[in-house]
Structure 1
Amino acid sequence: MTAATAGAEMPQQTGAVAQSTPTQPKKQPLTGPATRSYNLAEEWDRTAGLSDSDNAVLDKLAQTCSCRPYPPQIIDTSGTKSAAGTTTTEKLSAVKETPDETGRSPGSNAALDKAILENSHQFYLWHGELEAARRSETEEKYRKYGEVLESHLSTCSGLLSQVDETLSMFERLQEQHKAVDQKTRTIHDSCEKLVEEKDHLVRFAEALRTKLAYFDELETIAAKFHSASLSVEGPHFLPMLKRLDECITFVSSNPQYAESATYQAKFRQLQSRALATIRSRVKSVLDKASAQVTKAIKGGHAAKESAEEIGEAADGDLSHSLSDGAETAVLYVRFRAAAEPSLKGLLAEIESRGTRPEYTRLATELQTLFCETRLHLVGQVVENRITQLSGLPIQALARNGCAYLMQVCHLEHQLFEHFFPAAAAEPGAMRPLVEPMCNILYDVLRPICIAMSDIDQLCEVVDIMRHEILQEQLGRRGNAVAPVRPIIQRALQDAQERLTFRAQAYLKDSVASYFPTSSDTDYPGRLVAAAQARSPEDGAAQNQIPEVVEAQAQAGGSPEKDSSLASMDPYSLWYPPLQRSLLLLSKVYRCLPKSIFGGLAHEAVASTTASIKQASQMVARRSGPTDGQLYMIKHLLILREQIAPFEAEFAVSEKDLDFGHMRDQLRRIMAGESSLFVFSSSNAMLQLVGNGVRVMESTVDSKKDLEKLLKATCESFIMSITKLIVEPMLSFITKVTAVKVSTSASRPIREHAFASPGKLNEMIGKVNHALDNALPKAVDKMKLYLNNASTHAILFKPIKSNIAEAHGQIAALLESEYNASEAESCGLRAPEELSAHLDELC
């Protein structure tokens, strides 16, 4: 076998070895002889590569050789010499020498490198030596590494033993440290607890001492109060009072303390005594200041009397003993100078404690005391001044009296605000002072207002109080004169009540109870006379009155536009109740509240409408139905036009008692259907009482009633004019309709007696005559009564429609029932001619 064959077999054995030891670790790369041997085998395989045909030849040669015996020189392996004279074993053993430090003989590597392989046996031997050398080389490296590791392991074991010993020492040291730390912490906690207990005891002692201080103050404060040197104006009084308040607050907020109720009662007693002392001091100061002011006034009065004796002064009383400037100086400046040093600081201190109820009561009492003192000083002066003004007319009395009261209230408010700044803004603080002074003026105004009967004066008084005083003067002066407002409002309400009463009486006497005179019902004579008396330019004057012009101006009208009508006097033709009613409403419109004015306006409109209706009936009896209708339309239109600017509801709610069900119940009792002696729920008396009296509430609107009456009158006028003109046509149409309904025969309409051509011509002639004579007169009369062209058009439009409709029905009958010659000869006007004629009229 050649070296190539041996090289080819070597990988198979190596692979077999690898397969037999799959769990071996990965081999390290070879070095030295093994590497060179492997390189040799690889070089051999690469250079001695065989093709497929060579391999087939070698296979056949191997089969042939396997059947042949080995040559003699190969068989003799035990020591037969080769041709060179030495055996292979000797050659291989020759390379074995004493191994070096790596475990191999010095010449082994060279021998392996230079070995000559002649057969497979030599190759196997060579390979075995090579493997042994590789293993020896590899194992030696690991053996030395193992020895190094063992030395390191022994060193680490020594270090670990030392470390374990050190750790055990540290553990013992740590345990000792924990024991010391625990003992230290215990001692620290004990110290902290002791310190906390000490602080708690100190705080408790301080709190106890603080709380006991409030109780201990009782003796101290009581001793000070019983001291003869204690004075309200002293420097120690107010601090002591403040401390007393603190003690009362503490004791009252801690009722759980022993004897707290007893101490609280004693503290309250001391506080009441202190507040009484303050009240007495304030009263004495106010009395002293009042005495000084009174003395000054009397001194001025004495000087006045002495001046009168020598003729150097004018007449007057105490209220005029001083001029306005001197009166202000004496009543206010001197009083303020006398009371301010003693009261300013004390009153400010009391107001600063206003959150406590006892001080609030004390402040209220002091304010009342102040007001009473001021009223004692100023009341007589105000009364004398109002008494003097009472001789003036009521308008001047209201103006001057209210102005004087507001001036006094303003000065009093300034003085009050100086001493009580916190209470000055309260609305009722000065009521004890201002209300009696205002009642002086009210007591003078009320009898005069109640005794007044003139509506114009009452309206003027109401206007002064409502606009000049309440809106202008009180609004301009602000809160200083606010206490005067209730009194002025009460006086205004009295005046309005009196005005309402007088207005109702006036409506009852002058409107509802008015009976038309002969001149009032002289229509159309008065209209004709007036039309002849005035120029054509004045004929279209508007139906308004000066007082209504003023009401329209307030409601948004234009008084400049209507001012020229005042001089024309177109109102003399108005029915007197209408004129009076509108005049009254125009006067009271701005003087009464809307609710009261609405009721009064309802009564006025209802009374005026009834009176106009009564007068129209008299005009109808005197001049004819058409004049009565036009008279009513004229005045109802005037009334509706003149009440339009008033922003009021002309409706009132009326409540009536309904006894109808009681009547039925009594009837059943009288008939014996219900018994009075039955002791059950069906007792007649119980049912009668149980049902009670029913209250029926209804709303009556006089303006709507006016509209309904006006509409009905207009419709009546339209129908009367229509009948006046086309009554023959309407009668003819009615007869024709009756004949057509009642007769089933085929007899023509023209053959009846009422529908003969002669009768037809006569009927149409009457209508044409009425169109030419009666209708123009009716239109002229309508224009005479009514001055407004739009009113003419509104009233005449349905009349024209009715006349045209009647002519249209007659024309249809002529076309259907008569021949052409009869229709032409009857004289019926064509629609165009009729329309032109009617348009010429209106």
Structure 2
Amino acid sequence: MATANLPKSGAISRGYNFASTWDQNAPLTDEQHAAISALSSAVAERPFPPNLIQDQSTGKDNDSHVLVPTSDSVDDVAAVDAVLVNTHQFYKWFWDLESAMKSETEEKYNLYVNTLVERLQICDGILNQVDDTLNLFDELQMLHQTVATKTKALHDACDRLLLEKQRLIDFAEALRSKLNYFDELENVSTNFYSANMNIGNGQFLPLLKRLDECISYVESNPQYAESAVYLVKFRQLQSRALGMIRSHVLSVLRGASSQVQSAIRDSGSSKNSFSEGVEASVIYVRFKAAASELKPVLEEIESRSSRKEYVQILSECHRLYCEQRLSLIKSIVQHRITEFSRKEALSSLTRSGCAYLMQVCQLEHQLFAHFFRSSSQEDSSLAPLIDPLCTYLYDILRPKLIHEANLDALCELADILKIEVLGEQLNRHCESLTGLRPTLQRILADIHERLTFCARTHIRDQIANYRPTEEDLDYPARLERSTETSSDATVDDNSDIFKTWYPPLEKTVSCLSKLYHCLEPTVFTGLAQEAVEFCSISIQNASKLVAKRSSTMDGQLFLVKHILILREQIAPFDIEFSVTHKELDFSHLLDHLRRILRGQASLFDWSRSSSLARSFSPRVLESQIDARKELEKSLKATCEEFIMSTTKLVVDPMLSFVTKVTAVKHALSSGGQDQKLNSVLAKPLKDQAFATPEKVAELIQKVTVAIQQDLPKVMTKMKLYLQNPSTRMILFKPIKTNIVEAHAQLQSLIKSDYSAEEMESMGMVSLQDLQAQLDSLL
């Protein structure tokens, strides 16, 4: 190729890169690509020259004439006839033709290459100039960068200088602000020690605030030089200022108290009224005028109550206020409560005294809020005033409570304090009456203590140690008289119910019902367990006396009746009647002393577990008593005794007969050695002396008479003692079962050993008829 001999130049690569870049940055459109494709298709196949369009497919080598163009004819585009004799000539002719075609084809490309080479040379010259220009531009850019770097360094230096200047200015200002706190010492000291400085001065409170700021700053920065010295001086000034405040508050309060006392003396009114008349208007309305003078100072103190110095001065102001108020009203309150105690009973005194103190506390709380708005909600603020006033009522009530022995009166007092005063009135005015609560709870605790003592005394004297009279043990006559009386009374009249109760039972139920809502659950539980236990013992002792006086059955039914009533009456009490008793046991000490005396142990042998401390230490024994379970146990045992005694009363002959027959059959089955006895026992049952048909008929007749005569009497007594039909049915059911079982056992024996005629002659009742007869008794 001719291009292989072209000189290598940088313009070619730059041109190619430029063309590639141009092709990427300015791509052809679809229409342009289509036009190029059409042109390429049009010139893809060039037609043969006209002189060559002949038939060349004959293939004859000898006398064929082929028309081939020569080199000259190619240039002139003319056809030349050539005669090809052999293959060599053909190849030569073909080579010449191909060379001519290549020469003709490459001629225009060579021209184009020459043109490009000339233009590349021109471009190389231009590019060399551009390179020189670019080098100059790079040098200029480097110079500009150098200048910019130096300029930025200059700007940075200026900025650093400005920052340093600002830092120094801030440091100077900070140092000046810190020094201001120390410099304020002289200014504040001069003002506080000035002759014109007082609480009413408008500069006092701002100076006090600035003084607090200085103290806070010095306290938080102890690392500064002489900070401790300045702190001491600042605190001295603060103490002087707070002392001025205290003196001012005391002066204003004393002045107000003097004015009120003068007004009361001028009015000449008596001290028999506190909330009405001149005292109310003077003691409260005129005393409020002092609040306007003290309010700015007191509000300032309350706003700084987070600091201990102001907490102390605020507490001191509270104390001064309470002292002045107490000096005004203590004599009036004491006189009024004393009048209550002279004219009213204990319950009325308690109710009136509490209502009076609550009225005083509300008024005092309202007045206190005018002076101390923020701290008026604290319970301890008014304590120096309220506690002495409450003490007057407590001192009046306590001696009366100590001498009060009536349970009803003590229960009424407990209800008054617990329900009316503490439960209703104090909860309704909880904020203003909070100061009364400790004293009222103390009075209530004294009432509970006295009530507990009186209750124990009542249980011991009226229940445990009760001595019944003849009338108390007159059973069943008391029940019969009550039945006759109740037949004439209305259905809702229950006034005679308690008359049939044994007095200790009535006293127990009455005592527990009174104490249930008055005492704490733990205290009531102990008293209830003790009362029920003693009441049960008293009833059991009384049942023995009734049994001796009337009959065993009366004693049993008496015990069942009262234990059922007691169990029913204590059921509503939502407590456990179980109490754990602890006691010290020294029984082991005797054995240990005996061993020491015998020489078996040493008193000073500290190395063993039986040392002196261990040996003489008592043992703690715990025992749990459940009064309700003991009651159930006693009731069960009594019911079983009644059931067995009633069963024996009715069917005792049958039971004896069945027992004898069982013994005879057992002796025969065991095969004894006594031949004579065996011969006697070997007789048929109806031939035995105790089991002849006549004897059996006789015992059946006795049982029938008992069922018809004795058992109805028993049921009558049961109805007399036990009014509840279901209770009687529960108690009668095992009796009926025992009677039926006794008849069943007897019938079984009769059927096996007696004939039908003998059985019929005995008059035995069928079990169905017997059950119907027993059911009719209910």
Q: 2:109 aligns with which of 139, 142, 163?
A: 142
| RMSD over aligned Cα atoms | 2.6
Pair 1:597–1:734, CA change in 2 (3 A): same
Structure 2 SS opposite 1:657: strand
SS at match of 1:478: coil
**CA 1:801–1:469 in structure 2 vs 1: closer, same or farther (change >3 Å)?**
same
The whole-number CA distance in structure 1 between the counterparts of 2:732 and 2:336 is 69
Aligned-pair distance for 1:765? Answer: 2.1
1:592/1:147 CA distance change after superposition, 3 Å? same
Alignment of 1:151-550 (within 5 A): 151-301=118-268, 304=269, 317-320=270-273, 324-337=276-289, 339-391=290-342, 392-535=344-487
**2:624 match: secondary structure:** strand
Partner of 2:726: 790
- Aligned-pair CA distance for 1:394: 1.6
CA contact (8 A) 2:547 2:553 kept: yes
Pair 1:173–1:778, CA change in 2 (3 A): same
Instruction: Determine if the alignment matches structure 1 residue 111 to structure 2 residue 38.
Output: no
Structure 1 residues 391-790: aligned runs within 5 Å:
391=342, 392-535=344-487, 564-567=492-495, 569-676=496-603, 678=605, 680-681=607-608, 685=612, 687-689=614-616, 692-744=617-669, 748-790=684-726
Change (3 A) 1:530 1:244: closer
- The whole-number CA distance in structure 2 between the counterparts of 1:318 and 1:519 is 58
Match of 2:33 in 1: none
SS class of match (1:519): coil
Alpha-carbon spacing, 1:730–1:670, altered in 2? closer, same or farther (3 Å): farther
Residue by residue over 1:727-747, the C-alpha shift from the partner in whole angstroms, topping out at 9 and shown as x without a partner, is 122122222222222323665
Query: Match of 1:824?
Result: 760
C-alpha displacement at 1:679, in angstroms? 5.9
For 2:348 and 2:295, how far apart are their aligned partners in 1? Answer: 40
Per the alignment, residue 5 of structure 1 pairs with none
CA gap of 1:672–1:214, structure 2 versus 1, over 3 A, is: same
1:381-403 deviations in whole A, cap 9, x for unaligned? 11111111111212221122111
Q: In structure 1, what residue type is equivalent to 2:295?
A: K
Q: Which residue of 2 aligns with 1:544?
A: none
**Partner residue in 2 for 1:19:** none
- Per the normalisation by structure 1, the TM-score is 0.82
Contact 2:319 2:384 in 1 (8 A): yes
1:686 deviates by: 5.0
State the TM-score, normalizing by the size of structure 2.
Answer: 0.88
State the AA in 2 paired with 1:406. Answer: M
Give CA-to-partner distance per residue, 1:36-56, whole Å, 9 cap, x none. 57754xx544xx6x9xxxxxx
Say if 1:677 and 1:683, in contact at 8 Å, map to a contact too: no
What is the Cα deviation at residue 536 of structure 1? 7.4
Identity across matched positions, percent:
49
Give the partner amino acid of 2:232: A
User: 8 Å contact 2:463–2:508 — kept in the other structure?
Assistant: yes
Change (3 A) 1:32 1:380: same
Larger mean CA deviation between 508-517 and 343-352 belongs to 508-517
Aligned-residue offset at 1:123: 4.8
CA distance in 1 between counterparts of 2:110 and 2:520 reads 132
Give the CA deviation at 1:767.
1.4
Which whole-Å CA distance do the structure 1 matches of 2:437 and 2:511 have between them? Answer: 28
Distance in 1 between the 2:159 and 2:246 partners? 57
- 1:118 Cα deviation after fit: 7.8
Task: Give the structure 1 partner of residue 38 of structure 2.
Answer: none
Question: Could you list the per-position Cα deviations for residues 475-515 of structure 1 after superposition, in whole angstroms to 9, with x for gaps in the alignment?
Answer: 22231111112211211221222222222212221221111
Which of 323-332 and 444-453 deviates more? Answer: 323-332
| The structure with more radius of gyration | 1
Q: Is the 8 A contact 2:529 2:577 kept in 1?
A: yes
Deviation digits for residues 449-487 of structure 1 (CA, Å, limit 9, x no counterpart):
111122222222222222221222222223111111221
Within 2, Cα distance between the matches of 1:517 and 1:395?
34
Write out aligned runs for 1:21-170 (5 A).
31=46, 40=54, 44-45=56-57, 97=72, 106-107=75-76, 109-112=77-80, 123-124=90-91, 126-170=93-137
- Paired with 2:400 and 2:206, the residues of 1 have a C-alpha distance of 57
C-alpha distance in structure 2 between counterparts of 1:394 and 1:748, whole Å: 87
Cα displacement string for residues 594-642 of structure 1 (whole angstroms, at most 9, x for unaligned residues): 2222222222211211111111101111212111001111111222222
Amino acid at match of 1:763: L
1:674/1:684 contact within 8 Å kept: no
Q: Tell me the secondary structure at the aligned position of residue 656 of structure 1.
A: strand
Distance 1:793 1:495 in 2: 47
Contact 1:602 1:652 in 2 (8 A): yes
Distance 2:607 2:514 in 1: 62
Write the distance in 2 (CA, Å) between the matches of 1:409 and 1:827: 91
- Displacement of 1:266 in angstroms is 0.7
Aligned with 1:681: secondary structure?
coil
Q: Distance in 2 between matches of 1:123 and 1:249?
A: 125
Structure 2 CA distance, aligned partners of 1:125 and 1:646? 145
Tell me if structure 1 keeps the 8 A contact 2:654–2:742: yes
- 1:574-596 CA-to-partner distances (Å, cap 9, x unmatched) read 21111222222233333222222
Q: Retained in 2: the 8 A contact 1:665–1:684? A: no
**Deviation readout 1:624-683 (Å, 9 max, x if unpaired):** 211100111111122222222233332322112223433443343344432335463266
Aligned letter for 1:318? K
* 3-state secondary structure, aligned to 2:194: coil
1:760, CA displacement in angstroms? Answer: 2.0
1:366-387 Cα shifts (integer Å, max 9, x gaps):
1111111111111111111111
Tell me, in whole angstroms, the C-alpha distance in 2 between the residues paired with 1:363 and 1:532. Answer: 78
Relative to structure 1, the CA distance from residue 293 to residue 36 in structure 2 (aligned partners, 3 Å threshold; closer, same or farther) is farther
Query: Which residue type is aligned with residue 656 of structure 1?
Result: E
Distance in 1 (CA, whole Å) between partners of 2:610 and 2:91 is 152
SS at match of 2:376: coil
